[in-house]
Structure 1
Amino acid sequence: MNLVDEFCTANEPKEEPVADVAPTVSWQPPSDGCYKVNTDGVVFSNSKQAEAGVIIRDGAGEVVAALSKKWNYPLGAIEAEAKAVEADIIFAHDVGIRDAEVETDSLEIFNAMRGHSAPPSSVVNVVTGILNQASLFRKWKFTHIKRQGNVPAHVLAQHAKNVEDYLAWVKDLAQLFIFL
């Protein structure tokens, strides 16, 4: 290569790498005829408590029920997520949901529910119970959402530290708050 070619090569305009912009993560409606049941579990190690938040929405995105639940004993993060999904399934069934998409931001619990991986030994029994409870629904599936798209369930989980046991809200009974 001669000096002119080297000079031209060295001075060619360089394309700046363009950063990939992550797509916005947001709640997506469920399949036709289903309800989307979002859940999140949180751990407050300083108070030795774990909490769950559950929000149930119809296909139009309208909230039909919500739950904040607290456990007054310490759980690890994965155990809290599993117990949150368990609370989610029971609550959805109790309020009359029969066709549900259960959505969690815990990839580990999602993979265990879908049979992609074995659940951690600390939650095997909880996962087995969840799958048994899910079989009571006419139609159900488990989906995963990133944490940014699961904010309402997370806020409900954080709210649980302000309740004794649980607080439930059901649209048709908006004036009825259940404290136990």
Structure 2
Amino acid sequence: GIVLVAINPYEQLPIYEQDVIYAYSGQNMGDMDPHIFAVAEEAYKQMARDEKNQSIIVSGESGAGKTVSAKYAMRFFATVGGSASDTNIEAKVLASSPIMEAIGNAKTTRNDNSSRFGKYIQIGFDKRYHIIGANMRTYLLEKSRVVFQAEDERNYHIFYQLCASSSLPEFKELGLSK
């Protein structure tokens, strides 16, 4: 299969904006520069042409940009695949990322937003290749981080978010206290 080597620049770059998605959409592999959108487009085209499931495996060391690359691929599918209904399924699929990051990501010495779990995301498409849903399975959550963090590392983001919101009225309404 296709291999893409990507390096995490640790900054926002204009090469991931909406107009770049449209530039890669419909292009043949090799016609454009190597890019996560080229890989996603090739998987999308092969799914449509061969009517077979496709996989994109994102692998690398901590801080390599795996989570961000996967999010960009999902954004590509959400933009190109769209949804057949008014329920805006692609927005729901993309909206799961901040929730999952709050619960399963933490600051480490190598990455301020390091995923401390693995995830398998399955995106469903209808016969017209519109997104109809998604299923996410998580595995290997680093449970020990709840009670112990190495020096200069932090617990899961959600705990800091809860502390920061403790003065909001909703906090008390949920039966939580400082």
TM-score by length of structure 2 reads 0.25
More strand by share: 1
TM-score by length of structure 1 reads 0.25
